[in-house]
Amino acid sequence: MDFLPLFTDLRNKPCLLIGGGQVALRKSRLLCKAGAQVRLVSHEILPELSSLVLNAGGECIRGDYGDHLLDNVFLVIAATDDQALNSRVSAACHQRHIPVNVVDDPALCSVILPAIIDRSPLIIAISSGGKSPVLARMMRSRLEASIPAAYGRLGNLASQFRDAVKERFEDIEDRRHFWEKALQGPVAEMVFAGNDKAAATMLGDAIKNGSIDNGGEVYLIGAGPGDPDLMTFKALRLLQRADVVLYDRLVAPAIVDMCRKDAERVYVGKARSDHAVPQQDINSLLVKYAREGKKVARLKGGDPFIFGRGGEEIEELAQHKIPFQVVPGITAAAGCASYAGIPLTHRDYAQSVRFVTGHLKDNSINLPWQELAKPAQTVVFYMGLIGLPSICEKLIEFGRPADTPIALVQQGTTSDQKVVVATLATMVEKLKHETVRAPTLIIVGEVVKLREKLAWYEKYDLAKADI
């Protein structure tokens, strides 16, 4: 181990920063955020850097560095491109036993500034000892994606109850087990959901009772339109906590594979006339598994509350007093339109957008056609493949011009995405010569005209690209 990681309290400590450019600006942000008293010295100083230091109560010295500036200094950072000056500063600091960091020159450093993940009071530092700063930053990016910002609030909450937990549990192992349950159970989930007050009440009650109830819970997770990269951090975190995963046919296999390897997987897919598991049975399964004390993930394509029947499922959970969380997902309209190069709104073509279902509960298509046929709006039909002939016919009948552009997006955002563009008058005939399969999304409106201009990437030949 080349360097021993240490966390240093810089609050109100005098720190010398040598340099006045972009590198010095980055370092000054860290110093000021840590509460240091920054003394900056350089002939030329960026205006933003000067303002930052002065507003934080520091001072800017325009001129040459001198060793006298090291008097009573706690930390020194040299952020210049002058090798001779950097070497001089380093030698003087080593002689006086003052911690020094020379940017991008590990041989001159006695301390290294790591890549930082700030979830104060939780701070995670990653360093390569100056050998590969880019690799350290890459590792930081990977970790940041898996550590919610709310961990900072969770840490602050835990600090408020440390003394109470010490008093309640004399044995150190009992305290450790209590905190492990608290920091990865319902208390933590309350914080992640933004309900810190309820989390504090729950934690206080758990301390009084001497235990934490890590009972069953249901997560209604929007899996998005298909591309696994469109899953939210929260969705992925809860999915990997689940003991049981219920998923439907609209959820991509790659997303299902993101769950824990030991999690039970239950397919509850429904097609238009083929309900593998009726909705009421799905509701009952959610209640059953939760009552067994399991964490249950209900994976739903798109967003649970946009034609996903998530409302029906949480009604059942609420009736049985089962705790649940709803995680929004990117709905198919937003995802498929974006990947197809079709903006849902545009100042020149559409000032509003409407989402409607292509068939109702009784398989009819009884929609407010007069409203849907109005100009300057985009209409998106979910589950409309079977009813497409009626959709085109009704929109024309109620006043939408027959040459209105229409796009059908098959399996949007996935590698099997296919986009068919026509008009209300020609789409049905065109599909007779195309092989299209569900799930599909239908977009109607003048914005479809923009696809040819905006979907340039579909024609981009990487083999010929100069990269």
The pLDDT assigned to 107 comes to 93
Average pLDDT of the chain to the nearest whole number: 91
Specify the residue for token string 């990437």. 457
**What pLDDT does residue 464 have?**
44
Q: pLDDT tens, 372-409? A: 999 999 999 998 999 999 999 999 999 999 999 999 99
Residue of 13, 270, 418, 449 with catalytic role:
270
Of residues 227, 243, 248, 295, which has the active-site annotation? 248
Annotated binding site for NAD(+): 22-23, 43-44
**Quick one: pLDDT at residue 462?**
41
Confidence of residue 366 (pLDDT cuts 50, 70, 90): confident
Q: Give me the pLDDT at residue 342, please.
A: 96
In this prediction, residue 459 has a pLDDT band, given cuts at 50, 70 and 90, of low
Is 324 within 8 Å of 314 (Cβ atoms)?
Answer: yes
Q: What mean pLDDT comes out for the span 234-238?
A: 90
452 band by pLDDT with thresholds 50, 70 and 90 = confident
Whether residue 446 is predicted with pLDDT greater than 60 in this model: the reply is yes
Residues that constitute the known binding site: 22-23, 43-44, 225, 301-303, 306, 331-332, 383, 412
pLDDT value at position 276? 66
- Which domains, and CATH codes, for the chain? 14-113 (3.40.50.720), 117-127+135-213 (no CATH), 217-327 (3.40.1010.10), 334-456 (3.30.950.10)
Positions at the binding site for S-adenosyl-L-methionine:
225, 301-303, 306, 331-332, 383, 412
| Long-range Cβ contacts of 309-317 (<8 Å, 24+ apart) | 309/279, 310/220, 312/279, 312/283, 313/218, 313/220, 313/282, 313/283, 313/286, 314/220, 316/283, 316/284, 316/286, 316/287, 317/218, 317/283, 317/286, 317/287, 317/290
Question: What pLDDT, on a 0 to 100 scale, did the predictor assign at position 211?
Answer: 82
List of residues 6+ apart from 237 with CB closer than 8 A: 146, 148, 192
Predicted model pTM? 0.71
Residue 141 confidence (pLDDT)? 86
Active site residue 81: no
**pLDDT for position 184:** 82
Structure tokens at 303: 């967003």
Residue 274: the pLDDT is 53
Which has the minimum average pLDDT: 19-33, 203-217, 412-426, 428-442?
A: 203-217
97-112 tens-digit pLDDT = 999 999 999 999 999 9
Question: What pLDDT is attached to residue 363?
Answer: 59
Which two three-digit tokens encode residue 155? 């840490």
59-74 residue pLDDT tens: 999 999 999 999 999 9
For residue 235, pLDDT over 50 is answered with yes
Known catalytic residue: 248? yes
Query: Does residue 461 have a pLDDT over 60?
Result: no
